[in-house]
């Protein structure tokens, strides 16, 4: 099965460098980015898009799906990492308040403890386990040989590092292809 895993389009939270909460929606640029992604992925004729239930990813998934009139199915385990007490804070404030914890969780993949987390949040290991569970579910239950997955940047970065050993920061509406 071939998975086209893509990050949502831009939100005002992305633009303002805020550790986003669950309720951020795409801004105008984010919608244009999602439309561009729908054209890039259109030739794949993806019959189904699985999406995080968070508005920014779900809307991106719907825009991509509209190119081929594909169905969108929400899967809770595709949501972004929970950053707990850090959510809603500007990056500069996170650096000031959390210091090396911020750096280890948000800016580095190697040489860090993957069990660290912000108060009330998830660790990289917890997010990775959750995402792999979602991929297993898709592999076992999807009737198609290729699908799209609309999700989030930090989750993608963690999975990509775990799978390929490379630290890659995903831009809005960037994607990669995974065979499972």
Beta strand ranges found along the chain (DSSP E):
2-7, 48-51, 71-74, 146-151, 175-179
What tokens were used for 94? 């996170």
To the nearest 10 degrees (0 to 180), the angle between helices 28-42 and 55-66 is 40
Element (H, E) at 34: helix 28-42
pLDDT for residue 55: 97
Q: DSSP letter at 114?
A: T
Q: How far is CA 89 from the centre of its chain?
A: 19
pLDDT for residue 21: 87
In contact, 83 and 118? CB cutoff 8 Å = yes
CA 82, CA 96: separation in Å to the nearest integer?
20
Reported as a single tens digit per residue, the pLDDT across 97-116 is 999 999 999 999 998 899 99
Is the per-residue pLDDT at 163 higher than 90? yes
Reported as a single tens digit per residue, the pLDDT across 6-54 is 999 999 999 999 998 889 999 999 999 999 999 999 999 999 999 999 9
Q: Which domains does the chain have, with CATH numbers?
A: 2-179 (3.40.50.1240)
Once rounded to an integer, what is the mean pLDDT over residues 123-132? Answer: 98
* pTM for this model (two decimals): 0.97
């Amino acid at each position: 099965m071939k998975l086209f895993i893509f990050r949502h389009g831009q939100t005002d939270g992305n633009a303002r460098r805020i550790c986003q909460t669950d309720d951020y929606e795409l801004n105008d640029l984010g919608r244009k980015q999602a439309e561009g992604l729908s054209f890039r992925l259109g030739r794949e004729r993806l019959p189904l898009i699985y999406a995080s239930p968070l508005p920014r990813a779900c809307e991106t998934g719907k825009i991509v799906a509209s190119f081929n009139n594909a169905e969108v199915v929400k899967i809770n385990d595709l949501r972004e990492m929970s950053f707990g007490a850090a959510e809603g804070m500007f990056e500069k404030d996170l650096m000031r308040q959390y210091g090396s914890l911020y750096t280890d969780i948000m800016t580095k993949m190697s040489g860090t403890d993957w069990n660290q987390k912000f108060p009330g949040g998830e660790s990289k290991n917890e997010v990775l386990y959750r995402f792999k569970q979602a991929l297993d579910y898709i592999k076992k239950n999807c009737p198609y040989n290729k699908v799209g997955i609309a999700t989030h940047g930090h989750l993608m970065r963690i999975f990509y590092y775990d799978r390929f050993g490379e630290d890659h920061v995903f831009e809005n509406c960037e994607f990669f292809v995974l065979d499972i």
